Chains A and B, each alone.
Chain A
Amino acid sequence: MPQYVFKMKKGELEIEFSSDDAEFVEQQLAKWREEILKKHN
Protein backbone atom coordinates (compact mmCIF):
# COMPACT_ATOMS: atom_id res chain seq x y z
CA MET A 1 0.00 0.00 0.00
CA PRO A 2 1.21 3.52 -0.65
CA GLN A 3 2.27 5.52 2.29
CA TYR A 4 1.90 9.21 2.67
CA VAL A 5 4.03 11.33 4.93
CA PHE A 6 3.10 14.79 5.94
CA LYS A 7 5.45 17.02 7.93
CA MET A 8 4.91 20.31 9.60
CA LYS A 9 7.68 22.37 11.14
CA LYS A 10 7.67 25.35 13.36
CA GLY A 11 11.10 26.17 14.60
CA GLU A 12 12.36 23.17 16.50
CA LEU A 13 8.95 21.59 16.59
CA GLU A 14 8.04 19.08 13.99
CA ILE A 15 4.96 16.99 13.38
CA GLU A 16 5.16 14.14 11.01
CA PHE A 17 2.03 12.37 9.99
CA SER A 18 2.11 9.24 7.94
CA SER A 19 -0.71 7.09 6.78
CA ASP A 20 -1.84 4.85 3.99
CA ASP A 21 -5.28 6.43 3.99
CA ALA A 22 -4.89 8.71 1.05
CA GLU A 23 -8.29 10.29 1.32
CA PHE A 24 -7.81 11.10 4.97
CA VAL A 25 -4.34 12.53 4.40
CA GLU A 26 -5.58 14.71 1.63
CA GLN A 27 -8.50 15.87 3.70
CA GLN A 28 -6.36 16.76 6.70
CA LEU A 29 -3.74 18.32 4.58
CA ALA A 30 -6.21 20.52 2.79
CA LYS A 31 -7.77 21.57 6.07
CA TRP A 32 -4.48 22.51 7.70
CA ARG A 33 -3.18 24.23 4.67
CA GLU A 34 -6.30 26.29 4.50
CA GLU A 35 -5.98 27.26 8.12
CA ILE A 36 -2.34 28.20 7.77
CA LEU A 37 -2.96 30.24 4.70
CA LYS A 38 -5.96 31.84 6.36
CA LYS A 39 -3.80 32.80 9.31
CA HIS A 40 -1.19 34.15 7.03
CA ASN A 41 -3.66 36.27 5.15
Chain B
Amino acid sequence: MFYNIKIKADGSEFILESSNKEITQREMDIYFSRIFDVSEEFKSQIKDVEVKSQNVISINEFDKHTQNEQAPVVEENFEIKIEPQPVVEEIKNEEPVETVKKIVIQEPIKAQNDCVVEAMDNELVFETEEQNEPANENRIEHIKNAPLTSILIQNEPSDEEQDYVFARQKLLYEEMKKEKEKIDIITEEENQKRLNDIFASDISEYDEDIEDAVVNVKQDIENFANIENQENIIPSSDLVFANQQAEKLACEKVVEQDQEQSIEQAEETLQEQVFEKVVEQQEQVEPQTIQENEQNLNNENAPSEHDVQIQELEQMLESQTVQNQTQEQQQSVSEEQKDYNNVDIIDLSTFEETNSAINSQVVSTDEIISIRESAIQPQNSQTPDFKTYLEEFDTESLVDDFLICAYYIKNILKQDGFTMKMINSKLFQATGKIADMSVVQELSNKEYISFVQDEISNKYFITPDGENYFQANFE
Protein backbone atom coordinates (compact mmCIF):
# COMPACT_ATOMS: atom_id res chain seq x y z
CA MET B 1 0.00 0.00 0.00
CA PHE B 2 1.22 3.44 -0.74
CA TYR B 3 -0.15 6.81 0.22
CA ASN B 4 1.07 9.90 -1.58
CA ILE B 5 0.05 13.43 -0.85
CA LYS B 6 1.01 16.22 -3.20
CA ILE B 7 0.40 19.81 -2.32
CA LYS B 8 0.70 22.59 -4.84
CA ALA B 9 0.66 26.17 -3.74
CA ASP B 10 2.17 29.39 -5.02
CA GLY B 11 3.96 27.55 -7.75
CA SER B 12 5.79 25.21 -5.37
CA GLU B 13 5.01 21.61 -4.79
CA PHE B 14 5.22 19.44 -1.73
CA ILE B 15 4.98 15.70 -1.86
CA LEU B 16 4.53 13.36 1.06
CA GLU B 17 5.07 9.72 0.34
CA SER B 18 4.14 7.24 3.01
CA SER B 19 3.21 3.66 3.54
CA ASN B 20 1.64 4.33 6.90
CA LYS B 21 -2.07 4.74 6.66
CA GLU B 22 -2.55 6.41 10.05
CA ILE B 23 0.12 9.01 9.43
CA THR B 24 -1.25 9.72 6.01
CA GLN B 25 -4.75 10.05 7.33
CA ARG B 26 -3.67 12.49 10.02
CA GLU B 27 -1.64 14.53 7.56
CA MET B 28 -4.45 14.65 5.10
CA ASP B 29 -6.89 15.77 7.74
CA ILE B 30 -4.54 18.57 8.69
CA TYR B 31 -4.14 19.71 5.12
CA PHE B 32 -7.81 19.46 4.58
CA SER B 33 -8.60 21.58 7.60
CA ARG B 34 -5.91 24.09 6.63
CA ILE B 35 -7.17 24.51 3.12
CA PHE B 36 -10.83 24.11 3.77
CA ASP B 37 -10.83 25.66 7.15
CA VAL B 38 -13.88 25.26 9.26
CA SER B 39 -14.32 28.88 10.10
CA GLU B 40 -17.62 30.59 9.56
CA GLU B 41 -15.84 33.10 7.40
CA PHE B 42 -14.79 30.40 4.99
CA LYS B 43 -18.15 28.74 5.17
CA SER B 44 -19.87 31.94 4.24
CA GLN B 45 -17.65 32.30 1.20
CA ILE B 46 -18.52 28.97 -0.33
CA LYS B 47 -20.79 29.70 -3.19
CA ASP B 48 -21.12 26.31 -4.70
CA VAL B 49 -19.70 22.87 -4.23
CA GLU B 50 -19.32 21.01 -7.41
CA VAL B 51 -18.75 17.31 -7.07
CA LYS B 52 -17.33 15.95 -10.23
CA SER B 53 -17.67 12.26 -10.91
CA GLN B 54 -20.42 11.89 -8.40
CA ASN B 55 -19.98 8.66 -6.55
CA VAL B 56 -21.67 6.61 -9.17
CA ILE B 57 -19.66 3.55 -8.34
CA SER B 58 -18.07 2.99 -5.01
CA ILE B 59 -14.35 3.05 -5.39
CA ASN B 60 -14.09 0.12 -3.06
CA GLU B 61 -16.58 -1.86 -5.09
CA PHE B 62 -14.85 -0.85 -8.21
CA ASP B 63 -11.59 -2.02 -6.74
CA LYS B 64 -12.95 -5.43 -5.85
CA HIS B 65 -13.93 -6.04 -9.42
CA THR B 66 -10.77 -4.77 -10.93
CA GLN B 67 -8.13 -6.27 -8.68
CA ASN B 68 -6.94 -8.74 -11.20
CA GLU B 69 -7.18 -6.54 -14.17
CA GLN B 70 -5.01 -3.84 -15.53
CA ALA B 71 -4.78 -1.23 -12.85
CA PRO B 72 -6.96 1.70 -13.77
CA VAL B 73 -6.44 5.15 -12.48
CA VAL B 74 -9.60 6.43 -10.93
CA GLU B 75 -9.58 10.12 -10.48
CA GLU B 76 -12.02 12.19 -8.57
CA ASN B 77 -11.89 15.93 -8.28
CA PHE B 78 -13.49 18.25 -5.89
CA GLU B 79 -13.61 21.83 -6.85
CA ILE B 80 -14.92 24.44 -4.55
CA LYS B 81 -15.94 27.69 -6.04
CA ILE B 82 -15.43 30.50 -3.67
CA GLU B 83 -16.95 33.86 -4.06
CA PRO B 84 -14.30 36.45 -4.77
CA GLN B 85 -13.26 38.42 -1.80
CA PRO B 86 -15.03 41.76 -1.74
CA VAL B 87 -12.71 44.45 -2.89
CA VAL B 88 -12.60 47.04 -0.23
CA GLU B 89 -11.84 50.23 -1.97
CA GLU B 90 -9.84 52.69 -0.04
CA ILE B 91 -11.76 55.89 0.19
CA LYS B 92 -9.36 58.62 -0.40
CA ASN B 93 -10.04 61.20 2.19
CA GLU B 94 -9.33 64.74 1.26
CA GLU B 95 -8.29 65.34 4.80
CA PRO B 96 -4.49 65.34 4.63
CA VAL B 97 -4.06 63.70 7.99
CA GLU B 98 -6.26 60.81 6.94
CA THR B 99 -4.24 60.42 3.80
CA VAL B 100 -1.06 60.20 5.75
CA LYS B 101 -2.57 57.85 8.25
CA LYS B 102 -3.66 55.57 5.50
CA ILE B 103 -0.32 55.50 3.81
CA VAL B 104 1.55 54.86 6.99
CA ILE B 105 -0.70 52.08 8.07
CA GLN B 106 -0.66 50.30 4.79
CA GLU B 107 3.02 49.72 4.49
CA PRO B 108 5.38 48.95 7.34
CA ILE B 109 8.44 51.01 6.75
CA LYS B 110 11.89 49.63 6.85
CA ALA B 111 13.93 52.39 8.37
CA GLN B 112 17.56 53.11 7.85
CA ASN B 113 18.79 51.39 10.94
CA ASP B 114 16.84 48.21 10.35
CA CYS B 115 14.18 49.29 12.77
CA VAL B 116 10.74 48.30 11.62
CA VAL B 117 8.25 51.04 12.25
CA GLU B 118 4.62 50.19 12.09
CA ALA B 119 1.98 52.78 12.56
CA MET B 120 -1.11 51.30 14.08
CA ASP B 121 -4.46 52.95 14.30
CA ASN B 122 -3.78 54.62 17.55
CA GLU B 123 -0.16 54.22 18.30
CA LEU B 124 3.23 53.89 16.83
CA VAL B 125 4.99 50.64 17.52
CA PHE B 126 8.67 50.51 17.11
CA GLU B 127 10.55 47.32 17.09
CA THR B 128 14.13 46.60 16.49
CA GLU B 129 16.39 43.67 16.60
CA GLU B 130 18.99 45.61 18.45
CA GLN B 131 18.93 45.17 22.17
CA ASN B 132 19.75 48.72 23.06
CA GLU B 133 16.66 49.73 24.92
CA PRO B 134 17.55 52.41 27.46
CA ALA B 135 16.89 52.09 31.13
CA ASN B 136 13.32 52.94 32.09
CA GLU B 137 14.21 56.24 33.73
CA ASN B 138 15.71 57.51 30.52
CA ARG B 139 13.08 56.37 28.14
CA ILE B 140 11.10 59.59 28.01
CA GLU B 141 14.25 61.60 27.32
CA HIS B 142 15.06 59.09 24.70
CA ILE B 143 11.67 59.48 23.13
CA LYS B 144 11.90 63.23 23.20
CA ASN B 145 15.30 63.60 21.70
CA ALA B 146 16.17 60.62 19.64
CA PRO B 147 15.41 60.28 15.98
CA LEU B 148 12.11 58.68 15.55
CA THR B 149 13.40 55.45 14.15
CA SER B 150 15.56 54.83 17.15
CA ILE B 151 12.77 55.04 19.70
CA LEU B 152 12.40 51.75 21.45
CA ILE B 153 9.12 50.86 23.03
CA GLN B 154 9.57 47.20 23.46
CA ASN B 155 8.11 47.05 26.91
CA GLU B 156 4.70 48.23 27.86
CA PRO B 157 4.96 52.03 27.79
CA SER B 158 3.74 54.06 30.73
CA ASP B 159 1.01 56.66 30.28
CA GLU B 160 3.57 59.43 30.25
CA GLU B 161 5.67 57.66 27.70
CA GLN B 162 2.58 57.05 25.66
CA ASP B 163 1.85 60.77 25.74
CA TYR B 164 5.21 61.48 24.29
CA VAL B 165 4.78 58.87 21.64
CA PHE B 166 1.46 60.43 20.72
CA ALA B 167 3.14 63.80 20.64
CA ARG B 168 5.70 62.48 18.24
CA GLN B 169 2.96 60.98 16.22
CA LYS B 170 1.15 64.25 16.08
CA LEU B 171 4.24 66.06 14.95
CA LEU B 172 4.55 63.57 12.19
CA TYR B 173 0.98 64.19 11.20
CA GLU B 174 1.60 67.90 11.17
CA GLU B 175 4.60 67.39 9.00
CA MET B 176 2.61 65.18 6.69
CA LYS B 177 -0.06 67.81 6.52
CA LYS B 178 2.42 70.28 5.19
CA GLU B 179 3.39 67.77 2.57
CA LYS B 180 -0.19 67.03 1.59
CA GLU B 181 -0.20 68.39 -1.92
CA LYS B 182 3.10 66.79 -2.71
CA ILE B 183 1.88 63.48 -1.36
CA ASP B 184 -1.12 63.68 -3.58
CA ILE B 185 0.85 64.11 -6.72
CA ILE B 186 3.99 62.14 -6.15
CA THR B 187 4.30 58.53 -7.11
CA GLU B 188 4.10 55.79 -4.57
CA GLU B 189 7.82 55.27 -4.73
CA GLU B 190 8.51 58.91 -4.11
CA ASN B 191 6.02 58.91 -1.34
CA GLN B 192 7.69 55.97 0.26
CA LYS B 193 10.99 57.76 0.19
CA ARG B 194 9.42 60.83 1.70
CA LEU B 195 7.93 58.79 4.46
CA ASN B 196 11.24 57.15 5.13
CA ASP B 197 12.90 60.54 5.34
CA ILE B 198 10.32 61.83 7.75
CA PHE B 199 10.51 58.83 10.00
CA ALA B 200 14.24 58.93 9.98
CA SER B 201 14.52 62.62 10.68
CA ASP B 202 15.30 64.11 14.03
CA ILE B 203 12.63 65.69 16.13
CA SER B 204 14.66 68.86 16.44
CA GLU B 205 13.92 69.62 12.82
CA TYR B 206 10.38 70.52 13.68
CA ASP B 207 9.49 73.98 14.75
CA GLU B 208 6.99 72.96 17.33
CA ASP B 209 8.41 72.23 20.70
CA ILE B 210 7.91 68.72 21.91
CA GLU B 211 6.65 69.84 25.31
CA ASP B 212 3.92 71.94 23.71
CA ALA B 213 3.02 69.01 21.56
CA VAL B 214 2.65 66.86 24.64
CA VAL B 215 0.26 69.37 26.18
CA ASN B 216 -1.78 69.48 23.00
CA VAL B 217 -1.85 65.73 22.75
CA LYS B 218 -3.02 65.40 26.33
CA GLN B 219 -5.84 67.75 25.53
CA ASP B 220 -6.68 65.69 22.50
CA ILE B 221 -6.66 62.53 24.56
CA GLU B 222 -9.08 64.06 27.05
CA ASN B 223 -11.32 65.00 24.17
CA PHE B 224 -11.13 61.53 22.80
CA ALA B 225 -12.06 60.11 26.16
CA ASN B 226 -15.25 62.09 26.03
CA ILE B 227 -16.33 60.39 22.87
CA GLU B 228 -18.13 57.17 23.53
CA ASN B 229 -16.82 54.05 21.86
CA GLN B 230 -13.82 55.94 20.64
CA GLU B 231 -11.27 53.26 20.08
CA ASN B 232 -8.80 54.95 17.85
CA ILE B 233 -6.88 58.09 18.32
CA ILE B 234 -8.04 60.38 15.63
CA PRO B 235 -6.52 63.66 14.58
CA SER B 236 -7.93 66.92 15.80
CA SER B 237 -9.42 67.60 12.41
CA ASP B 238 -11.50 64.48 12.87
CA LEU B 239 -12.73 65.88 16.11
CA VAL B 240 -13.87 68.96 14.26
CA PHE B 241 -15.62 66.74 11.77
CA ALA B 242 -17.19 64.73 14.60
CA ASN B 243 -18.44 67.92 16.19
CA GLN B 244 -19.88 69.04 12.88
CA GLN B 245 -21.65 65.72 12.55
CA ALA B 246 -22.97 65.98 16.09
CA GLU B 247 -24.28 69.48 15.40
CA LYS B 248 -25.84 68.28 12.17
CA LEU B 249 -27.56 65.42 13.97
CA ALA B 250 -28.77 67.78 16.66
CA CYS B 251 -30.17 70.11 14.00
CA GLU B 252 -31.93 67.23 12.28
CA LYS B 253 -33.43 66.20 15.59
CA VAL B 254 -34.71 69.73 16.19
CA VAL B 255 -36.22 69.77 12.70
CA GLU B 256 -37.94 66.43 13.37
CA GLN B 257 -39.35 67.76 16.64
CA ASP B 258 -40.60 70.86 14.83
CA GLN B 259 -42.25 68.70 12.23
CA GLU B 260 -43.95 66.59 14.90
CA GLN B 261 -45.20 69.72 16.62
CA SER B 262 -46.46 71.07 13.30
CA ILE B 263 -48.36 67.85 12.66
CA GLU B 264 -49.91 67.96 16.12
CA GLN B 265 -50.92 71.57 15.62
CA ALA B 266 -52.38 70.79 12.22
CA GLU B 267 -54.39 67.92 13.71
CA GLU B 268 -55.68 70.15 16.48
CA THR B 269 -56.63 72.85 13.97
CA LEU B 270 -58.39 70.30 11.81
CA GLN B 271 -60.32 68.97 14.78
CA GLU B 272 -61.33 72.49 15.70
CA GLN B 273 -62.46 73.19 12.15
CA VAL B 274 -64.52 70.00 12.04
CA PHE B 275 -65.99 70.81 15.41
CA GLU B 276 -66.95 74.31 14.29
CA LYS B 277 -68.45 72.98 11.11
CA VAL B 278 -70.54 70.47 13.02
CA VAL B 279 -71.74 73.12 15.40
CA GLU B 280 -72.56 75.38 12.49
CA GLN B 281 -74.56 72.68 10.74
CA GLN B 282 -76.29 71.73 13.94
CA GLU B 283 -77.25 75.32 14.51
CA GLN B 284 -78.69 75.53 11.01
CA VAL B 285 -80.93 72.58 11.72
CA GLU B 286 -81.77 73.60 15.22
CA PRO B 287 -83.93 76.74 14.90
CA GLN B 288 -86.43 75.08 12.62
CA THR B 289 -86.71 71.95 14.73
CA ILE B 290 -86.99 73.89 17.91
CA GLN B 291 -89.75 75.93 16.39
CA GLU B 292 -91.56 72.81 15.32
CA ASN B 293 -91.14 71.39 18.78
CA GLU B 294 -92.53 74.50 20.28
CA GLN B 295 -95.50 74.41 17.95
CA ASN B 296 -96.19 70.84 18.92
CA LEU B 297 -95.75 71.66 22.52
CA ASN B 298 -98.18 74.55 22.29
CA ASN B 299 -101.03 72.34 21.24
CA GLU B 300 -104.22 73.02 23.04
CA ASN B 301 -104.67 71.12 26.25
CA ALA B 302 -101.03 70.27 26.13
CA PRO B 303 -99.31 69.91 29.41
CA SER B 304 -96.23 71.90 30.18
CA GLU B 305 -93.42 71.93 27.67
CA HIS B 306 -91.24 69.87 29.93
CA ASP B 307 -93.87 67.17 30.46
CA VAL B 308 -94.60 66.82 26.78
CA GLN B 309 -91.01 66.27 25.93
CA ILE B 310 -90.60 63.75 28.71
CA GLN B 311 -93.59 61.88 27.33
CA GLU B 312 -92.09 61.87 23.88
CA LEU B 313 -88.81 60.65 25.19
CA GLU B 314 -90.38 57.81 27.12
CA GLN B 315 -92.17 56.69 24.02
CA MET B 316 -88.96 56.72 22.17
CA LEU B 317 -87.25 54.62 24.81
CA GLU B 318 -90.00 52.06 24.77
CA SER B 319 -90.18 51.35 21.12
CA GLN B 320 -86.81 52.37 19.71
CA THR B 321 -88.75 53.46 16.71
CA VAL B 322 -87.44 56.89 17.15
CA GLN B 323 -83.95 55.62 17.46
CA ASN B 324 -84.14 53.90 14.12
CA GLN B 325 -85.70 56.88 12.60
CA THR B 326 -82.90 58.94 13.96
CA GLN B 327 -80.35 56.62 12.48
CA GLU B 328 -81.97 56.83 9.07
CA GLN B 329 -81.93 60.56 9.15
CA GLN B 330 -78.37 60.55 10.32
CA GLN B 331 -77.26 58.75 7.21
CA SER B 332 -77.78 61.89 5.23
CA VAL B 333 -75.56 63.88 7.51
CA SER B 334 -71.98 64.50 6.48
CA GLU B 335 -69.04 62.42 7.69
CA GLU B 336 -67.96 64.96 10.22
CA GLN B 337 -71.26 64.73 11.95
CA LYS B 338 -71.28 61.00 12.32
CA ASP B 339 -69.43 60.86 15.59
CA TYR B 340 -71.72 63.36 17.09
CA ASN B 341 -74.89 61.82 15.71
CA ASN B 342 -74.09 58.40 17.05
CA VAL B 343 -75.16 59.50 20.45
CA ASP B 344 -77.18 56.95 22.30
CA ILE B 345 -80.76 57.50 23.07
CA ILE B 346 -81.02 60.41 25.35
CA ASP B 347 -81.89 59.61 28.90
CA LEU B 348 -84.04 61.77 31.05
CA SER B 349 -81.22 63.57 32.70
CA THR B 350 -79.83 64.51 29.32
CA PHE B 351 -83.21 65.68 28.33
CA GLU B 352 -83.51 67.88 31.36
CA GLU B 353 -80.20 69.41 30.59
CA THR B 354 -81.42 69.95 27.06
CA ASN B 355 -84.57 71.55 28.23
CA SER B 356 -82.79 73.88 30.53
CA ALA B 357 -80.41 74.74 27.74
CA ILE B 358 -83.27 75.68 25.51
CA ASN B 359 -84.77 77.80 28.21
CA SER B 360 -81.57 79.53 29.05
CA GLN B 361 -80.66 80.02 25.38
CA VAL B 362 -77.15 79.01 26.26
CA VAL B 363 -76.43 76.04 24.09
CA SER B 364 -73.34 73.94 24.25
CA THR B 365 -72.34 71.46 21.55
CA ASP B 366 -73.42 68.39 23.49
CA GLU B 367 -76.67 70.07 24.21
CA ILE B 368 -77.11 70.96 20.56
CA ILE B 369 -76.78 67.30 19.77
CA SER B 370 -79.31 66.48 22.42
CA ILE B 371 -81.63 69.11 21.12
CA ARG B 372 -81.31 67.70 17.65
CA GLU B 373 -82.06 64.25 18.94
CA SER B 374 -85.15 65.56 20.62
CA ALA B 375 -86.06 67.55 17.53
CA ILE B 376 -86.32 64.44 15.45
CA GLN B 377 -88.59 62.69 17.81
CA PRO B 378 -92.09 62.04 16.53
CA GLN B 379 -93.54 65.43 16.07
CA ASN B 380 -97.04 64.41 16.84
CA SER B 381 -97.39 62.86 20.22
CA GLN B 382 -100.70 61.34 19.10
CA THR B 383 -99.01 59.22 16.45
CA PRO B 384 -99.30 55.58 17.47
CA ASP B 385 -96.21 53.50 17.40
CA PHE B 386 -96.11 50.67 14.92
CA LYS B 387 -96.69 47.99 17.51
CA THR B 388 -99.92 49.65 18.58
CA TYR B 389 -100.84 50.32 15.00
CA LEU B 390 -100.26 46.70 13.98
CA GLU B 391 -102.42 45.36 16.80
CA GLU B 392 -105.42 46.79 14.98
CA PHE B 393 -104.98 44.33 12.15
CA ASP B 394 -105.37 40.63 11.95
CA THR B 395 -102.35 39.49 10.02
CA GLU B 396 -101.08 36.00 9.41
CA SER B 397 -97.78 36.44 7.69
CA LEU B 398 -94.68 38.53 7.85
CA VAL B 399 -95.39 39.66 4.30
CA ASP B 400 -98.57 41.31 5.53
CA ASP B 401 -96.76 42.81 8.50
CA PHE B 402 -94.17 44.17 6.14
CA LEU B 403 -96.74 45.76 3.87
CA ILE B 404 -98.62 47.27 6.82
CA CYS B 405 -95.41 48.70 8.12
CA ALA B 406 -94.62 50.20 4.72
CA TYR B 407 -98.07 51.73 4.68
CA TYR B 408 -97.57 52.97 8.24
CA ILE B 409 -94.30 54.66 7.34
CA LYS B 410 -95.77 56.42 4.37
CA ASN B 411 -99.15 57.41 5.67
CA ILE B 412 -98.71 57.67 9.42
CA LEU B 413 -95.11 58.76 9.74
CA LYS B 414 -95.35 60.66 6.48
CA GLN B 415 -91.97 59.53 5.30
CA ASP B 416 -90.97 58.86 1.76
CA GLY B 417 -89.50 55.45 1.53
CA PHE B 418 -87.76 53.25 4.03
CA THR B 419 -84.73 51.10 4.30
CA MET B 420 -84.59 47.47 5.31
CA LYS B 421 -82.91 48.48 8.49
CA MET B 422 -85.61 50.91 9.34
CA ILE B 423 -88.53 48.65 8.60
CA ASN B 424 -86.95 45.68 10.31
CA SER B 425 -86.44 47.67 13.47
CA LYS B 426 -90.15 48.37 13.56
CA LEU B 427 -91.11 44.84 12.64
CA PHE B 428 -88.85 43.41 15.27
CA GLN B 429 -90.25 45.68 17.94
CA ALA B 430 -93.79 44.77 16.99
CA THR B 431 -93.55 41.13 15.99
CA GLY B 432 -90.17 39.88 17.11
CA LYS B 433 -89.42 38.93 13.50
CA ILE B 434 -87.16 40.31 10.86
CA ALA B 435 -87.98 40.35 7.19
CA ASP B 436 -85.44 39.03 4.75
CA MET B 437 -85.11 39.58 1.03
CA SER B 438 -87.59 36.82 0.23
CA VAL B 439 -90.32 38.98 1.72
CA VAL B 440 -89.15 41.95 -0.25
CA GLN B 441 -88.96 39.82 -3.38
CA GLU B 442 -92.50 38.55 -2.92
CA LEU B 443 -93.93 42.01 -2.46
CA SER B 444 -91.82 43.34 -5.27
CA ASN B 445 -93.08 40.61 -7.61
CA LYS B 446 -96.59 41.65 -6.79
CA GLU B 447 -95.51 45.23 -7.41
CA TYR B 448 -96.63 46.26 -3.95
CA ILE B 449 -93.29 47.83 -3.21
CA SER B 450 -90.67 49.44 -5.40
CA PHE B 451 -86.98 49.84 -4.97
CA VAL B 452 -84.75 52.82 -5.57
CA GLN B 453 -81.03 52.87 -5.08
CA ASP B 454 -79.39 56.17 -4.32
CA GLU B 455 -75.87 57.12 -3.25
CA ILE B 456 -76.51 56.70 0.44
CA SER B 457 -78.72 53.69 0.76
CA ASN B 458 -81.25 51.45 -0.88
CA LYS B 459 -84.75 52.70 -0.36
CA TYR B 460 -88.06 50.98 -0.71
CA PHE B 461 -91.43 52.56 -1.34
CA ILE B 462 -94.91 51.24 -1.07
CA THR B 463 -96.56 51.49 -4.47
CA PRO B 464 -100.14 52.60 -5.18
CA ASP B 465 -100.95 48.92 -5.82
CA GLY B 466 -99.56 48.11 -2.41
CA GLU B 467 -101.66 50.79 -0.79
CA ASN B 468 -104.75 49.56 -2.63
CA TYR B 469 -104.05 46.03 -1.47
CA PHE B 470 -103.66 47.29 2.09
CA GLN B 471 -106.88 49.27 1.97
CA ALA B 472 -108.76 46.40 0.41
CA ASN B 473 -107.66 43.78 2.86
CA PHE B 474 -106.98 45.55 6.12
CA GLU B 475 -109.08 48.64 6.31
A residues lining the B interface (CB < 8 Å): 1-26, 28-30, 32-33, 35-37, 39-40
Contact yes or no, A15 B2, CB < 8 A: no
Interface string of B17-50 (1 = CB under 8 A from A): 0000100110010011001101000110010110
Q: How far is the CB of B276 from chain A (nearest CB, A)?
A: 67
Given A14-B6, A35-B38, 8 further pairs, Cβ under 8 A: A3-B73, A5-B74, A9-B77, A10-B80, A11-B82, A15-B31, A18-B2, A24-B24
Interface residue ranges, B against A (CB under 8 Å) = 1-10, 21, 24-25, 28, 31-32, 35-36, 38, 42-43, 46, 48-49, 51, 55, 58-60, 62-64, 66-67, 71-80, 82
B329 CB to nearest A CB, Å: 69
Given known A-B contacts A9-B77, A40-B49, A14 and B7 have beta carbons under 8 A apart: yes
- Please report the C-alpha to C-alpha distance between residue A13 and residue B62 in the assembled complex, in whole angstroms: 29
Q: Provided the pairs A13-B9, A17-B28, A39-B46 are in contact, do residues A29 and B59 lie with their beta carbons within 8 angstroms?
A: yes
Verify A37–B49 contact, CB threshold 8 A. yes
Contact status A15-B32, CB under 8 Å:
yes
Contact of A26 among B36, B38, B58, B75 (CB under 8 A): B58
**With A3-B71, A11-B82 in contact, do A22 and B62 touch (Cβ < 8 Å)?**
yes
A-B pairs, 9 with minimum CB distance? A22-B63, A16-B6, A14-B8, A26-B59, A2-B71, A40-B49, A5-B75, A18-B4, A19-B3
CB-CB under 8 A for A19 and B10, given A4-B59, A32-B32, A36-B36: no
Q: List 9 A-B contacts (CB under 8 A).
A: A2-B71, A7-B78, A9-B77, A10-B35, A32-B36, A33-B55, A35-B38, A36-B36, A36-B78
Pick the contact of A5 from B31, B73, B80 — CB < 8 Å? B73
Chain B residue at smallest Cβ distance from A28 = B28
Least Cβ–Cβ distance between B352 and chain A, in angstroms = 79
Contact of A39 with B74 in the complex, beta carbons under 8 Å: no
Q: Contacting B78 at CB < 8 Å: which of A11, A19, A32?
A: A32
Kindly report which residue of chain A lies nearest to residue B75, judged by CB atoms: A5
Q: Nearest A residue to B42 by beta-carbon distance? A: A39
What is the bound-complex CA distance between A2 and B31, given in angstroms?
Answer: 24
CB distance from A25 to the nearest CB of B (A): 6
Instruction: Check B3 against A9 for contact (C-beta < 8 Å).
Output: no
Which of A10, A17, A19, A33 has a CB less than 8 Å from the CB of B82?
A: A10
Closest A residue to B77 by CB, please name it: A7
A16 to B, closest residue via Cβ: B6
Cβ of B7 and Cβ of A15 under 8 Å apart?
yes
Closest chain A CB from B7 CB (angstroms)? 6
- Is the pair B7, A21 in contact by a Cβ cutoff of 8 Å? no
Q: Is the CB of A16 within 8 A of B8?
A: yes
Q: Are A35 and B75 in contact (CB under 8 A)?
A: no
Chain A residue nearest in CB terms to B47:
A40
Q: Which residues of B contact A19 (CB under 8 A)?
A: 1-4, 24
Closest-CB distance, B85 to chain A (whole angstroms): 10
A37's nearest neighbour on chain B, judged by CB, is B49
Q: What residue of chain B has the Cβ atom nearest to residue A4's Cβ?
A: B74
